Amino acid sequence: MRGILYALGSAILFGASAPIAKLLLGGISPWLLAGLLYLGSGLGLTALRLVRRSKEASLVRADLPWLSAAILAGGVCGPVLLMFGLATTAASSAALLLNLESVFTLGIAWIVFKEYVDLRLGIGAAAIVLGAVALSWQGGAAEPASTLWGPVLIAGACLAWAVDNNLTRKISAADPMQIAMLKGLVAGAVNVALALIAGAKVPELPDGLAAGAVGFLGYGISLSLFILALRHLGTARTGAYYALAPFIGAAVAIPLLGEPITLPFLIGGGAMAVGLWLHLTERHQHAHVHEPMEHDHLHVHDAHHQHSHDGPPVTEPHAHRHRHARLVHKHVHYPDLHHRHSH
């Protein structure tokens, strides 16, 4: 249940940040705003880590290739492809295409990383994605894109973010705030630099600070919760819960921006509610084998952590490198750090 709360918290913060960020578009170009949101998340998490001592396991050298590839895919390639794609794609088409991220995330998790996805989860994820499509549907005839390359580039951005999601799962045992901080700093610096090179104007100080604050909550804290959800739920399930963000954004926009309650909003909300119910009521249980493994992450001494400690008593939770002996048992579980077995 904790992983579900992390995923929903991440979706709520990210979804709510979209209509708030929309208010800033009058004084900041879209590309520069994206960079400032990332940079605000990185700087905010840096400050938070300076005043708050983390109990989490730090990143190690073996994590750096995964982290670098995730940052390159999701923090650099994704935003750049999106910006070029938006330049030649109608807004209505772009909104629909952005729903591909959830589909690609689940597909990569299932096909490439062999994460278990059953029929119930697939139907639930499909309902959530269809709800997101309904929310972004503008009605009427679609505006023609200037070229085919625009939609292809936006689909490429969604693929880049899906790759980022799956690669980040590989290092989700490490400190999520440290991972999110590094992603924000690198992605923010790169995108701000590219936006300024492309001719974006430096925003007024109040607008820049507001963008940083929105980025800290809607990107930094949200991403930290997303990584915790990856640790507890796996990529496919976390991605499905995260796809609820458009509905949350639309719900926040109604009182904040005065947007009307429309039929697509009600249809989309209904479809997402069905998908959410299918996920929340999932009970995956069978006898399974835990092969011997050794790793480092924040934990308590539960059924999966029965090791001893030398020296004085330790407090929980705590993080250190520890070894798991072979274990066979049966209980309800998700594909978390300790349940990435085949079916």
Over residues 213-236, the pLDDT tens digits come to 999 998 899 999 989 998 888 887
Tell me, what's the pLDDT at 46? Answer: 95
Local confidence band at 136 (pLDDT 50, 70, 90 cut-offs): low
152 C-beta neighbours (distance < 10 Å), count: 15
CB burial of residue 103 (10 Å; 0-12, 13-18, 19+): middle
Yes or no: say if 220 and 179 are a contact pair by the CB < 8 Å rule: no
Angle (CA) 46-22-35 rounded to 5° is 35
Structure confidence by residue, pLDDT tens digits, 259-285: 788 788 788 888 878 888 887 777 767
Instruction: Please determine, for residue 319, whether its predicted confidence score (pLDDT) is greater than 90.
Output: no
Tell me, what's the pLDDT at 274? Answer: 87
Instruction: Please determine, for residue 204, whether its predicted confidence score (pLDDT) is greater than 80.
Output: yes
Instruction: Please determine, for residue 189, whether its predicted confidence score (pLDDT) is greater than 90.
Output: yes
Structure confidence by residue, pLDDT tens digits, 63-105: 999 999 999 998 888 888 887 887 776 655 666 677 788 888 8
Residue from 105, 102, 146 nearest 247 by CA: 102
CA-to-CA dists, residue 273 to 19, 29, 74, 190, angstroms:
21, 35, 28, 37
% pLDDT > 90, the chain: 21
